[in-house]
Amino acid sequence: MRRHSMVRVAILALIAMTLILPGPAAAQQKKLVYWTHWEQNPDFNKWFETKGKEFAKKTGFEVEVVTIPYQGYEAKYLSAFMGKSGAPDFYNGMTHQWCGQYDFCDKMPADLAKTWDENLPKYMMEMGRWQGARYGYPIEHGNFQMMYINVDLFKKAGLNPDRPPKTYDEWLPAMKKLTVLDAKGEASQVGFAIRHKGHPVGITDKFLPFAHAWGARMLSPNLDKATGFANGPEMVAALEFFGNLVLKEKVSSLTLGNPEDAFGQKRAGVIYRESWFYGWVKKNAPEVNFRIYALPCGRACPGAGQLFPWANLVYKDSPNKQMTWEFIRFISTAKDDLEQHQLQGILPVWTANQETQYVKSRPDYQAVKDMLAQPVPPAYFHPKSNELATAFGEAVVGVLYGKGQPKALLDDAAGKMDRVLKD
C-alpha cells in the first residue's frame, strides 16, 4: 500500500515538473543568441541587444549577447557547434576557419550579400567571404596596424612629432634617439614596443607589417606553398632587421612586458597597433599624448590588411537562422553601422561612413586614409591560418630570444608550414 502511494506521489511530482518547466524550444524561440569574443568592445556588443528590442516589436525576437573570453574562445565555440546544443544563432569569428576549415556557417542570402558587397571598402571585400561566397559581414574597419607615436617622448628626443619617419631608413635612427639606457645598459625606455610574449599567432601578426614592408610574403599567392616565401631572402632580411631591434640595436626590449602597457606607461616611443588601440589609450592612459600615422615604407609600403578578418556569421544548424538573417538585414544600413561603431569609439565599416564628421574628427582619420591609399598587402585567409601562423611565429620569437639565425629558423618554419599545407 505504502509503495503504491510513493509511486503515485512520484508520478504526480513528475507531471507537475513537466508542466512547470518550459521546454527548451519554447525558451529559445523568441531569442536570437549572439556570441562574441570582443570583450574589449562591450558597448558595441550591447548595441545588438538594444537593436534587438526594436526588432522584437516587428518579429517578437530579441537578441541576447554572450561575451566569451578571447583566450580560448575557439574551444568554447567548437564545443557548442559540435555538440549542437547551446550554440549561438550568430557569432563573431573568422570565415576561413568556421566556414572553411569547418562547415558551421550558413550562406548569406544573395540580396543581403549584394548590399554588403556594394558598401564595403575595397580591401575588406574578402572578409566574410569563403571561396567566393559571402557568409558574413566584417565588423571592424581599421583592423590593421598603424604607427602610434608618443608626442612628448618624440619632442624630448629632439624628434619632430609632426614629421614622423616615413621610411625604415629614417625610422631606425629615430628609434635609437627614443631609447634610453640605464647605467647597466638596460633599456628603461625603448624606441619601439615589440610584441614578444603570448601565442606565436599574435607575434606573427605583429611582425607581418615589417615582412610586407620588406616585400616579403608568408605564403605563395594561392596560399599553397611556404618554402621560398616564408624563408625567402626578403623575409630573412625583414626578420634580421626585426631581431636586431632587440639583439643588436637594442631599441626594443624583452623585459618591458606587453607592448601596450609599455606605450601606456610612456616607456616606449612607438607602437604598431590597430585603430581600436586609440580608444584603449584614451581610456587606460589618458595622460599619454599621442598621434597616429601610416606605417613607414621599406621596399614596399604596407597598406591596409590584416591577419584576423573578424566577421559576423550565422550558424548553419541554428533553428532561427532565417530570423537571424532578417535581423542582420534589419541592421544592415549605413546609419546603424555608424551608430554602433560610434558608440564604442571604433571605426565604422561602410564606405558611406568614412567621411562623416565622427570619422573625420578621429585622430586616426588621416592615417587610415594614408594606409588605404597604399597597396593592399598579402592576405592569408587560409583554413589552417592558426597553425601556419604558429609555425611562422615560433621562428620570429626564436630570433628575438636568440635561439638561432633568421635563415635557419625560417627554413625550419617553412618546412613545417609546407607539411601543414599538404596535410
Q: Which amino acid is at 161?
A: P
Residues 254-283 as x/- pattern, contact with another protein by CB under 8 A: xxxx--------------------------
15/401 with CB nearer another protein: 401
170/261 with CB nearer another protein: 261
70 contributes a contact to another protein by CB under 8 A = no
72/228 with CB nearer another protein: 72
**Among the listed residues 387, 392, 406, 421, the single contact to another protein using CB under 8 A:** 387
186 burial type by CB count under 10 A (0-12 exposed, 13-18 middle, 19+ buried): exposed
Intra-chain end-to-end CA distance of the chain, in Å: 68
- How far apart CA 154 and CA 156 sit, in angstroms, is 5
68/346 with CB nearer another protein: 68
Residue 137 belongs to what H/E stretch? strand 136-138
- How far apart CA 323 and CA 109 sit, in angstroms, is 12
Q: ∠ at Cα 300 (297, 301), nearest 5°?
A: 50
Instruction: Map 214-246 to HEC letters.
Output: CCCCCCCCCCCCCCCCCCCHHHHHHHHHHHHHH
384 contributes a contact to another protein by CB under 8 A = yes
226 contributes a contact to another protein by CB under 8 A = no
256/270 with CB nearer another protein: 256
Q: From 21-29, 166-174, 250-258, 332-340, give the range in contact with another protein by CB under 8 A.
A: 250-258
Number of amino acids touching another protein (CB under 8 A)? 36
CB of 316 to another protein, least distance (A): 8
- How far apart CA 79 and CA 62 sit, in angstroms, is 24
54 contributes a contact to another protein by CB under 8 A = no
Asked whether 392 and 200 are in contact (CB, 8 A), the reply is yes
Residues 309-348 as x/- pattern, contact with another protein by CB under 8 A: ----------------------------------------
81 contributes a contact to another protein by CB under 8 A = yes
Q: From 20-28, 158-166, 218-226, 391-399, give the range in contact with another protein by CB under 8 A.
A: 391-399
Per DSSP, the chain holds a count of helices (H) and strands (E) of 18, 12
Asked whether 150 and 269 are in contact (CB, 8 A), the reply is yes
Of 411, 414, 410, nearest to 397 (Cα)?
410
Q: From 38-46, 73-81, 135-143, 320-328, give the range in contact with another protein by CB under 8 A.
A: 73-81
**Of residues 392-411, those binding another protein (CB under 8 A):** 394, 397-398, 400-401, 403
Residue 22 to residues 14, 19, 27, 83, 240, Cα–Cα distance (Å)? 13, 7, 7, 22, 63
Q: ∠ at Cα 393 (104, 186), nearest 5°?
A: 140
**Among the listed residues 8, 53, 58, 197, the single contact to another protein using CB under 8 A:** 197
101 contributes a contact to another protein by CB under 8 A = yes
- How far apart CA 280 and CA 423 sit, in angstroms, is 40
Q: ∠ at Cα 138 (337, 347), nearest 5°?
A: 50
**Among the listed residues 103, 169, 224, 355, the single contact to another protein using CB under 8 A:** 103
27 contributes a contact to another protein by CB under 8 A = no
Name the site residues for another protein (rule: CB under 8 A): 71-72, 74-75, 78, 81-82, 97, 101-104, 184, 186, 196-201, 254-257, 384, 386-387, 390, 394, 397-398, 400-401, 403, 416, 423
